[in-house]
Amino acid sequence: MPISLEHIQKVMDEAEVLFTEKEIEGAIDRVAEQINQQLADSNPVVFCVMNGGLIFSGKLLMKLTFPLEQSYLHASRYRNETSGGELFWKAKPEISLMDREVLIVDDILDEGHTLSAIVDFCKRSGASQVYTAVLMDKQHDRKARPGLKADFFGLYCADRYIFGYGMDYKGYWRNAAGIYAVKGM
Ligand SMILES: O=P(O)(O)OC[C@H]1O[C@H](OP(=O)(O)OP(=O)(O)O)[C@H](O)[C@@H]1O
Ligand SMILES: Nc1nc2[nH]cnc2c(=O)[nH]1
pLDDT in tens, 124-152: 999 999 999 999 999 999 999 999 999 99
Asked if residue 155 has pLDDT above 90, the reply is yes
**Spatial separation of the C-alpha atoms in residues 59 and 38, rounded to whole Å:** 18
Q: Calculate how far, in angstroms, residue 136's C-alpha sits from the geometric centre of ligand 2.
A: 10
What is the average pLDDT value for the chain, to the nearest integer? 94
Residue nearest ligand 2's atom 11 by CA: 162
Pocket flag, ligand 2, residue 168 (CB < 6 Å): yes
Domain containing residue 9: 5-181
**Ligand closest to CA 51:** 1
**Ligand closest to CA 112:** 1
Per-residue pLDDT at 88: 84
Per-residue pLDDT at 77: 75
Give the 3-state secondary structure of 12-43. HHHCEEEECHHHHHHHHHHHHHHHHHHHCCCC
Per-residue pLDDT at 23: 98
pLDDT > 90: percent of the chain = 86
Per-residue pLDDT at 82: 65
Asked if residue 1 has pLDDT above 80, the reply is no
The Cβ-side half-sphere exposure at 164, using a 13 Å CA radius, reads 20
**Residues 6 or more apart from 119 whose CB is under 8 A from it?**
104, 130, 132
Q: Calculate how far, in angstroms, residue 41's C-alpha sits from the geometric centre of ligand 2.
A: 33
Give the mutation target among 162, 163, 175, 182 for probing the ligand 2 site: most ligand atoms within 8 A of CB: 162
Per-residue pLDDT at 87: 76
Q: How confident is the model at residue 80 (pLDDT cuts 50, 70, 90)?
A: low
Chain centroid to CA 182: 18
Q: Mean per-residue pLDDT for 105-109?
A: 97
Sign of CA dihedral 131, 133, 137, 143: negative
Give the mutation target among 8, 79, 80, 82 for probing the ligand 2 site: most ligand atoms within 8 A of CB: 82
Based on the structure, what is the number of domains in the chain? 1
Q: How confident is the model at residue 116 (pLDDT cuts 50, 70, 90)?
A: very high
Asked if residue 176 has pLDDT above 90, the reply is yes
Q: What is the CATH number of the domain that holds 77?
A: 3.40.50.2020
Pocket flag, ligand 1, residue 78 (CB < 6 Å): yes
Cβ 174 vs Cβ 51: under 8 Å = yes
Q: How confident is the model at residue 3 (pLDDT cuts 50, 70, 90)?
A: confident
Per-residue pLDDT at 184: 87
Please state the pTM of the whole predicted model. Answer: 0.94
Q: Mean per-residue pLDDT for 103-118?
A: 95
Give the mutation target among 49, 76, 163, 170 for probing the ligand 1 site: most ligand atoms within 8 A of CB: 76
